Amino acid sequence: MVDFIGIRRVQELVGDLGPAAFIAGLAREIEADYRRWGEFEKSPRHATHSSVGVIELMPACDGRQYAFKYVNGHPKNTAKGLLTVMAFGMLADVETGYPLLLSEMTLTTALRTAATSAVAARWMARRDSRVMALIGNGAQAEFQAIAFHAMQGIRELRLFDTDPAATHKVQANLARLELEGLRVVRCSSTAQAVRGADIVTTVTADKRNATILTPEMIVPGMHLNAVGGDCPGKTELHADILLRPDARVVVEFEPQSRIEGEIQQLPADFPVTELAEVVSGRQPGRAGAAQVTIFDSVGFALQDFSALRYLHRLHQQRRGSDADIDLIPDLDDPKDLYSLVGGPPPARRRPLPVAELTA
């Protein structure tokens, strides 16, 4: 039997720990895996693009366990009452090839994305950062807010979205959470939200080269958490922001980010630093208080690997619903797969008449 984690089970696990503690624990798992970056077999995700979206497969392996995620990105889905992003994933044992876990990854992707953002900010943002602008108030927004409040000490959150209903949704959800000391401010434009912010998180969904942030909005000392640009032709930052002489750009996996990240706008030799180099201490995340730091985040398979292992461990420690599924045959004779469909073995069956064989 293979362990199975569905939406209900993730709700239980997050509910048991609380969203902030769950994200913080996942962030520790992700950071630990980035520190052993060299153990992983890595590749850019395999993407199949269409005129309306993208479907991707994201694999990662550390030689002992293998994981993959199936994920889509369809910005027009919300007009049909569907999610922009939906995902599921699997964790398997390398020695046998057998799957250990089949899990939902829609909700989990939002949780791991927020956890990764907070890990990067811990190394890159100024320690005294207390104000964050959150541009794009869709499905990811609350998770980012929770992560930065709990792990980075954000005390003022400045919201803007072109859809006022989305901003209202975030306000209402955060109000129910009653995050201690968090002031939520609704803004009328990106420029207003960004003004005075220490950290700016962009998590928009349009599948195009957009300029959510322009050069005049950026001031020395800011940390930019650019999350929404995650496929070819989809960006959020004006290229001149990346080209600032005081800017430091950190990516998850450079070969993938060159295709899908903000840096797809720049020459192939534009210098960037991978997050693993930062969390391992081999490269600084920030050279000084006045530096502009940019986390060009597109999402990488290692984060899903970490999330699946984290879920699997919590699931086994806290048994509950969605225990397992019979995805893999359990046979008395591993060579007799036919026994699962019943009937006599093929050798004992009546030979087919020639007419039936040639029909």
Residues catalogued as catalytic: 230
Strand locations in 258-341 (E): 273-274, 292-296, 324-325
The SS3 assignment for 233 reads coil
Tokens of 180: 């201690």
Burial of 196 (0-12, 13-18, 19+ CB in 10 A): exposed
Q: Cα 260 to the chain's mean position, in Å? A: 14
Give dist(CA 229, CA 210) in Å, integer.
9
The single-letter DSSP state of residue 16 is H
Q: What per-residue string of b and e applies to 97-134 under the rule 16 or more CB within 10 Å gives b?
A: eebbbbbbbbbbbbbbbbbbbbbbbbbbbbeebebbbb
SS3 329: coil
